Structure 1
């Protein structure tokens, strides 16, 4: 959902100029967050609240672990970079809240999984903001 909103916004708005710098920063830090969260899920190996849907168990080993929430972490990293790196409105954090609440309602995560994902995403997002500031000072 974020991509449907973010990609057109990055090409239309002057906040994200030049896009050849801003888009890779968002993509690299989101990808890095996703890989870190996957590693943490395997390390903690916390079972999800719901391991079957409509009587069928998921055979994907990556889908059986819940801590931390990748949806929450990824949405928080993007929101943090948008708000603190590009000066977007803090309302973008509502996308992250919606992602977390949606994962709770569908019984894919515990509340601690969501909060852990938000914390990880926020911290990595701050690293992304730092990288963005560094690139702006040194490349532009």
Structure 2
């Protein structure tokens, strides 16, 4: 596990020297939010026939995203790993959410949604690019290490597969009610 930490520090230091920029970080931190993903997802869910009835599909996605987010927050408190902004750049932030890095909630939440949309509702696999963008954005802004992003993706994808399994068995029953 020590080699993962060494790799994380080296990559984050390289990102700080070569990719990290104050203005780019500001832009990425504004567009790399769940609200932005919701601006794409909500109209799609209401306009597409894949999500009918929306009063069932929207809460279904929201419940599994909420469960993922809560699990990630518990894990963040347990591991209490400092973010690259703190450990690489020495930046101190009074925001308590800025103190914990592993796993990435952005990565976990974005991939759980993409997994549910693609595998349960037969949406285009291009939705996985939202998750990729979320992870890369968090690396460039130095909010996360690579292992935080990968850990978030693994957690989110696992919960997404549970959601797809639940969808497979329960959706026919729910739709007929």
Structure 2 length as normaliser, TM-score? 0.74
**Map of 1:1-140 to 2, 5 A cutoff?**
1-51=36-86, 57-140=92-175
Residue number in structure 1 paired with 2:23: none
Give secondary structure in 1 for the equivalent of 2:143: coil
Cα-Cα RMSD: 1.7
- Distance in 2, matches of 1:63 and 1:35, equals 16
What is the DSSP-based 3-state SS (H/G/I as helix, E as strand, rest coil) of the residue aligned with 2:85? coil
Q: Are the aligned partners of 1:46 and 1:66 in contact in 2 as well (CA < 8 Å)?
A: yes
Unaligned runs of 5+ in 2: 1-35
Q: What SS class does the counterpart of residue 108 from structure 1 fall into?
A: coil
CA distance in 1, matches of 2:81, 2:104: 11
Gaps of 5+ in 1: none
Q: Which moved more, 1:82-91 or 1:60-69?
A: 60-69
Whether the 8 Å CA contact 1:22–1:132 is kept in 2: the answer is no
Give the CA deviation at 1:132: 2.0
Q: Displacement, 1:56?
A: 6.5
Could you say which structure has the larger radius of gyration? 2
Aligned length, in residue pairs: 139
Aligned-partner SS, 2:126: helix
Q: CA deviation at 1:135?
A: 2.6
Would you say the 8 A contact 2:45–2:51 is kept in 1? Answer: yes
Q: Compare 109-118 and 124-133 and name the one that shifted more.
A: 124-133
